[in-house]
Amino acid sequence: MNAMTMPEANAAKVAPPYFSVRDIHAYYGESYIVQGVSFDIAEGDIVALLGRNGAGKTSTLRTLARAQDPELKRGEIWLRGEPLHPLRDFQAAQKGVQIVQEDRRIIPGLTVEENLQLARIAEPKGWTLEQIYAHFPRLAERRKQEGVTLSGGEQQMLAVARALARDIKLLLLDEPYEGLAPVIVQEIERIVSEIKQLGITTIIVEQNAVAALELANRALILDMGHIVFDGPADAVLQDAELRTQYLAI
């Protein structure tokens, strides 16, 4: 059998994208929020998901995490070749999708360490407490303090650490710098930079677009529920017209 007649079964197979979103449409009630969003992400990418207020950034992030609101009416979401679109949020979390929401959702009545231990009970394949404290020394100092009494920046650290304590394959960060003092923003940036070095695939929604773009290698810009830009983060930093039109910076 010559090379021209070799069976197709012997042809090289193309691996699916690490994370793939295909034509997703999501609604809050009758409000059409996410309108046909599609993109692929390679393993280890840090993606800045940007846009003006009301562009659909958080709604898109929540849809990817399979939150009940907004409701996914059409489209597909795949992680490492496995479908996420039929799943609920807790099932997506079991598959490795971890979201850190803007309100942080620290559990009242539990210490820092108890918040982390609870996360590890649910998903024991994540980071150990020793690994977490090595990357978050401030949390190590406050391990016996009730989580909800931490400062806003420390609560953000705890929320990120709690996500890493679970089996993590995709990290979704919603406004990680919101309401934080500049010195704490620098600390969160350091942590996200370390996450980048560790190769954890991450999508960041952030109003501080410049800070997000400086951390990311890729940018997606949303406008009215549609993607209007998909390309290198550096290209957005260098394109003043694009920033003015869609990011108001």
CA atoms within 13 A on the CB side of 198: 16
Counting Cα atoms < 13 Å in the Cβ hemisphere of 116 gives 26
Walk along the chain (249 residues) and give the pLDDT tens digit of each residue. Answer: 444 444 444 545 677 899 999 999 999 999 999 999 999 999 999 999 999 999 999 999 999 999 999 999 999 999 999 999 999 999 999 999 999 998 888 999 999 999 999 988 866 678 999 999 999 999 999 999 999 999 998 999 999 999 999 989 999 999 998 888 888 888 888 888 888 888 899 999 998 899 999 999 999 999 999 999 999 999 999 999 999 999 987
Number of H helices, E strands in the chain: 10, 10
Whether this model's pTM surpasses 0.85: yes
Q: Measure the N-to-C terminal CA separation of the chain; round to a whole number of Å.
A: 62
Q: Is the peptide bond prior to 70 cis by the omega test (within 30 degrees of 0)?
A: yes
The two tokens of residue 47 are 């993606």
C-alpha span between 24 and 35 (Å, rounded): 7
SS3 breakdown of the chain: % helix, strand, coil, rounded to 5?
40, 25, 35
